[in-house]
Amino acid sequence: MSIEHTPVLLKESLQALSLSDGKIVLDCTFGRGGHSRAFLQSVGREGRVIGLDVDESAAEAALALATDYPGGRFTFVPLNFRNLDVALHMAGVARVDAVFFDLGVSSPQFDEGGRGFSYWHDAPLDMRMGLSQTLTAAEIVNTYSEDRLTSILHDYGEERWARRIAKFVVSARAESPLVTTGQLVEIIKAAVPKDVRTAEAQHPARRTFQALRIAVNDELEALEMALQKAVEALKPGGRMACISFHSLEDRIVKKFMQAQSLRCSCPPGIPQCICNTTPLLATERRKPILPTSEEISENPRARSAKLRVATRL
């Protein structure tokens, strides 16, 4: 079944990347191709877009896009963006004019309930971005120690009830293995105090599901690796744009761009710079670009999106 996907911050992303005829774009998070299609329209017949994704469903959308834009204008490489350097080598490209990240889970992955990403659908506890991966959410909740589960929920989900949820999970799995998202949701509801669940506007399982998904796919380490490789892949004057949807991702992107734009890393009090730091990036604004109220009204999933942009020096 085809699920329509609305790209988040599309107009802002196009403006941020400053695309024109003949440019080469690396779309590190192809998804269902919404952003890539817009990039192809912006770079003209002499331009090129390279899309990366490990989701097998993304390959189907990529095939359709390649048909619409023949002649090598679009190339799909089924690799995680942590391997973007390998992907560019496979595509026969040394440097690109723009690198784009739309982080997290795509809307179709949430909507296709069988993947286990959503707490609204009862499905196997999977949460793998690509089915070639071995670690699943089921393995984590059924085999990890209470302390390790607590750390994952706290560090990756910023869940204040992490210890209590982990304790309830360990207790429940002692009776029988946890195999579905529905089972896990009921455990989380039981662990989070009722008054807290009543007071909060969002689903009580959202932080736990986020944490498990990040752990299954090693998302944060992959992002840190990819950002560094993205800078190396950019031509001078090339642009990098990153859309994040939660504070952990945004913090990594923000700190990375800040660190790469430093002109001096000497300790405070040094009368003269001795570090000889050469900045690799320039950022135009400290605060991220946010979706408009109109976009949020049309696409509620855009409400937490933040776009950060930098230029390769």
Mean pLDDT of 45-63: 95
Q: What is the pLDDT of residue 260?
A: 96
Q: What is the pLDDT of residues 126-135, one digit of tens each?
A: 999 998 899 9
Sheet holding 281-282, edge to edge: 74-77, 48-52, 24-27, 96-102, 234-244, 306-312, 281-282
Per-residue pLDDT band at 201 (split at 50, 70, 90): confident
Q: Is the pLDDT of residue 268 over 90?
A: no
pLDDT at position 3: 43
Question: What are the counts of helices (DSSP H) followed by strands (DSSP E) for the chain?
Answer: 14, 7
Q: What percent of the chain has pLDDT over 90?
A: 85
292: helix, coil or strand? coil
Lowest mean pLDDT across 20-24, 222-226, 282-286: 282-286
**How far, in Å, CA of 290 to CA of 223, rounded?**
21
Q: Which domains does the chain have, with CATH numbers?
A: 10-102+219-312 (3.40.50.150), 116-217 (1.10.150.170)
Average pLDDT of the residues in 73-100:
98
What are the C-alpha distances in Å from 273 to residues 264, 268, 281? 7, 10, 19
Query: Distance (Å, rounded) from C-alpha 311 to C-alpha 313?
Result: 6
Q: How many CB atoms lie within 10 A of CB 235?
A: 14
C-alpha 233/C-alpha 229 separation (Å) is 6
pLDDT higher than 70, residue 113 = no
pLDDT tier at 29, thresholds 50, 70, 90: very high
**pTM score of the predicted model:** 0.93
Q: What pLDDT is recorded for position 111?
A: 64
pLDDT of residue 2: 41
Alpha carbon 247 to chain centroid distance?
Answer: 12
